[in-house]
């Protein structure tokens, strides 16, 4: 009962962040689309999309490897401290390298083209580096993530409502949205400084190099993953207008909010599953069998509900009846259902068991499919092609994950 209660506490903690995110979106989306206009809203999302790609470099593979390592050694304070310090400072170094390259390119090529916009969007990268959400996930104390992120988002929303007043305030809007994780990161560092000060000691260079080496396969896979999850907006911006990027961005934000429910449950279950695979594989199978049904049911329910009520949702949250956004949303909303299978078979089975080569193989093939289909689909069909392309990539990942779990006979009985 204690373990079950802890799991549900973590799920509720993370889901509460999503609920707050929906509430904030309910207020900020109509405000930003009306005040900034679709064109500036699309430009803002384009800049943040570029930094989201840079985030892949800073995040490296720590979303999986760091939280898994913390989950396994969380009862060993010395080992836990070593993992934390090496991962934290590795991310700081990667962020500094990214900053030099990013601002160097901005200085050379974008001096007269929204330089401040792109500079403000880089705060997303800073936040990724300093906010150790992976640590709180690993020790299964996700309520701290809730505290820090909730405070940061409320401050960001208040600033948007107070200071974003005209269509020329898109730089301010970008700054306030991008600084959310920076604020949360500062809060978490203050907490760690007061409670686990020894965790913030700089580690040996050899330990940092070890973290980089062991994370190479997952980092490579993360790059491939982000090709089909975050590059569509960038490519769409090259072939279409800022207005079309805006319509697509609105639909993607709604889809991501829905998908986040599934990902949040998987995120809460990941450290527990990683721990069970080390100490009790049979219990891990029973645990996954139970949660598989729940995740698939949740994914199907979310997809059906958003598909049916798409016009109402778009008008309610975006403030206007954007017909293009409604059509795009009804295509891309199938992703939450598909991702429910990916979470079970890939995130909660293959990754905790360190099937690195299979994980990399799945992502490589998926990326190749995505690259081959992205350009022609977006060129001929615009935002609708981008939505279809995302569906195809996610569907392949889910099917391949199910196939390999069955083929490898990881469990004595059938998990399907």
Residue-level pLDDT at 328: 93
Taking CA atoms, 64 is separated from 35, 210, 252, 336, in Å, by 39, 16, 24, 20
Task: Count CA within 13 A, CB hemisphere, residue 385.
Answer: 18
Using alpha carbons only, give the angle 71, 59, 196 rounded to the nearest 5 degrees: 50
Element containing residue 270 per DSSP (H, E): helix 242-279
How high is the pLDDT of residue 112? Answer: 59
Q: What is the pLDDT along the chain (416 residues), one digit of tens a residue?
A: 455 666 777 778 777 777 777 778 778 878 888 888 878 888 888 888 788 888 888 988 787 788 888 887 877 778 888 888 888 999 999 999 999 998 888 877 766 567 888 889 999 999 999 999 888 888 878 788 888 888 888 999 999 999 998 888 999 999 999 999 899 999 888 888 888 877 778 888 888 888 888 778 878 877 777 666 667 887 888 888 878 888 898 888 889 888 988 988 888 888 888 888 887 788 888 888 888 889 999 999 999 999 999 888 888 766 676 788 899 999 999 999 999 999 999 989 998 888 888 988 998 898 889 888 988 999 898 889 999 999 999 999 999 999 999 888 877 656 55
Amino acid 5: pLDDT:
64
CA 130, CA 121: separation in Å to the nearest integer? 16
106's tokens: 């901005």
In this prediction the pTM is 0.73
Strand ranges (E), 71-188: none
Phi, psi of 317 (to 5 degrees): -95, -30
Give strand ranges (E) for 217-347.
none
CA atoms within 13 A on the CB side of 275: 18
Is 60 in contact with 175 (CB distance < 8 Å)? no
Asked whether 398 and 337 are in contact (CB, 8 A), the reply is: no
Please check whether residue 266 is in contact with residue 348, taking contact to mean a CB–CB distance below 8 angstroms.
Answer: yes
**Tokens, residue 63:** 């979303």
Nearby residues of 363 by Cβ (< 8 Å), 6 or more positions away? 220, 221, 224, 225, 397
Q: Token digits for 321? A: 């009846």
Buried b / exposed e over 92-106, threshold 16 CB at 10 Å, is bebbeebbeebeeeb
Please, what sign has the CA dihedral across residues 126, 158, 169, 52?
Answer: positive
Whose tokens are 């409320």? That residue is 154
Find tokens 């809203």 and name the residue: 41
How much is the pLDDT for 7?
A: 75
How far apart, in whole angstroms, are the C-alpha atoms of residue 301 and residue 262? 11
Q: What is the pLDDT of residue 92?
A: 93
CA 352 vs CA 25, 41, 67, 285: distances in Å:
33, 39, 10, 13
């Amino acid at each position: 009962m204690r373990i079950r209660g802890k799991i549900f506490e973590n799920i509720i903690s993370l889901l509460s962040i999503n609920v707050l995110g929906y509430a904030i979106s309910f207020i900020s989306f109509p405000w930003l689309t009306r005040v900034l206009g679709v064109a500036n809203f699309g430009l803002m999302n384009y800049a943040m999309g570029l930094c989201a790609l840079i985030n892949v470099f800073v995040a490296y593979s720590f979303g999986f490897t760091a939280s898994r390592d913390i989950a396994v050694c969380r009862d060993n304070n010395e080992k836990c401290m070593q993992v934390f310090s090496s991962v934290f400072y590795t991310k700081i170094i990667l962020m500094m390298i990214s900053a030099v390259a990013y601002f160097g390119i901005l200085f050379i090529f974008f001096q007269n083209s929204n330089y401040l916009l792109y500079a403000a969007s880089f705060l997303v990268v800073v936040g990724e580096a300093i906010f150790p959400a992976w640590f709180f996930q690993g020790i299964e104390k996700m309520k701290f993530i809730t505290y820090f992120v909730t405070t940061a988002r409320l401050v960001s929303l208040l600033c948007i409502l107070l200071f974003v007043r005209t269509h020329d305030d898109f730089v301010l809007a970008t700054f306030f949205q991008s600084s959310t994780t920076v604020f949360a990161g500062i809060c978490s560092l203050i907490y760690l400084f007061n409670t686990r000060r020894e965790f913030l000691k700089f580690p040996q260079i050899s330990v940092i190099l070890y973290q980089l080496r062991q994370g190479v396969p997952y980092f490579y896979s993360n790059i491939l993953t982000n090709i089909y999850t975050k590059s569509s907006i960038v490519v769409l911006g090259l072939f279409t207008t800022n207005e079309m990027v805006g319509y697509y961005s609105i639909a993607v934000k709604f889809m991501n909010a829905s998908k986040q429910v599934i990902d949040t449950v998987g995120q809460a279950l990941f450290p527990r599953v990683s721990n069970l695979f080390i100490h009790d594989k049979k219990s891990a199978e029973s645990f996954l069998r139970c949660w598989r049904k729940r995740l698939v049911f949740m994914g199907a329910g979310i997809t059906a509900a958003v598909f049916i009520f798409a016009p109402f949702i778009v008008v309610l949250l975006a403030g206007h009846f954007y017909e293009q956004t409604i059509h795009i949303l009804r295509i891309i909303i199938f992703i939450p259902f598909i991702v429910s299978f990916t979470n079970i078979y890939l995130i909660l089975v293959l990754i905790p068991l360190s099937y690195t080569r299979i994980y990399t193989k799945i992502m490589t093939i998926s990326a190749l499919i995505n690259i081959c289909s992205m350009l022609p689909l977006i060129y001929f069909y615009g935002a609708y092609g981008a939505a279809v392309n995302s569906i195809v990539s996610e569907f392949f990942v889910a099917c391949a994950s199910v196939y390999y779990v069955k083929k490898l006979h990881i469990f004595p009985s059938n998990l399907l």
